């Protein structure tokens, strides 16, 4: 075996291990917060946990999941754009009253914290 063929497996193993550590550190950095605390995490990627108090579909097809009341008196919102495949899911209405976790970046919409959902993996029903 020449020196190059001996070094190659070690280089690959080192690269795999570094990649694994980077993925593990991202997973460990995830923060879960209650819906009432979302306002304090604007611009951050977090998982928001709470109970959906209302599911609403607007005239333009957007779906909203309200937490802590009905809009505009909410603690947190989930926005599912009408062009998202998730917006067409007939099971969304059944989420009202259910405890869920929603992952994504918290943004402000008319002074209320929200996360835009673009994939079903962002919502986990508890």
- 67-112 pLDDT, tens digit per residue, is 999 999 999 999 999 999 899 898 999 999 999 999 999 999 999 9
CATH code given to domain 32-125: 2.40.50.140
Neighbours of 103 (CB within 10 A): 17
Query: What letter would DSSP give residue 109?
Result: E
Q: What is the pTM of this model?
A: 0.76
Q: Summarize the chain as % helix, strand, coil (round to 5).
A: 35, 35, 30
Spatial distance between the Cα atoms of 58 and 9, rounded to a whole number of angstroms? 56
- 30-71 pLDDT, tens digit per residue, is 799 999 999 999 999 999 999 999 999 999 999 999 999 999
User: Under a CB-based contact definition with an 8 Å cutoff, are residues 33 and 46 in contact?
Assistant: yes
What band does 8 get if pLDDT is binned at 50, 70 and 90? very low
SS3 3: helix
């Amino acid at each position: 075996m020449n020196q190059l063929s001996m070094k190659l497996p070690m280089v690959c193993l080192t690269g795999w291990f570094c990649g694994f550590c980077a993925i593990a550190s991202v997973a460990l950095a995830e923060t879960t917060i209650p819906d009432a605390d979302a306002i304090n995490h604007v611009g951050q990627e977090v998982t928001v946990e709470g109970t959906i108090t209302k599911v609403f579909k607007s005239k333009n097809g957007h779906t909203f999941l309200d937490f802590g009341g009905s809009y505009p008196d909410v603690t947190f919102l989930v926005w599912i754009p009408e062009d998202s495949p998730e917006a067409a899911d007939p099971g969304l209405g059944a989420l009202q009253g259910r405890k869920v976790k929603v992952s994504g970046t918290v943004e402000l919409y008319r002074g209320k914290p929200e996360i835009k959902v673009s994939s079903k993996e962002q919502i986990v029903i508890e």
